[in-house]
Amino acid sequence: MKQVDTEILNKTMYGVVESLIAGPIPGRVRVMGATWAARLCIPDSRYILAPGTPVIIFGRRGNELLVLTTRGLTEVTP
């Protein structure tokens, strides 16, 4: 499997979650009118980002954006 480098963005970008991002499972975010695959930059399966949640885009890994919410994280308890 080919390793994909992570790129940290020099410029702060903001977006909104379009489809659920759940821990290590990617979802989609809308950024500047386009939707992108996105993953939570904290690889912890306890957290989710629901649709409508505002996010900051920190970087990208391949074609996936790495995001973190501008609000608090929602923790999922088993």
Tens digits of residue pLDDT in 2-56 = 677 888 788 889 999 999 998 788 999 999 999 999 999 876 667 888 999 999 9
Please tell me what DSSP assigns to residue 63. T
The percent of the chain in helix, strand and coil, each rounded to the nearest 5, is 0, 60, 40
pLDDT tens figures, 16-30: 999 999 878 899 999
Cβ neighbors of 69 (< 8 A, separation 6 or more) are 49, 53, 54, 55, 56
75 vs 18 pLDDT, higher one: 18
Structure pTM? 0.81
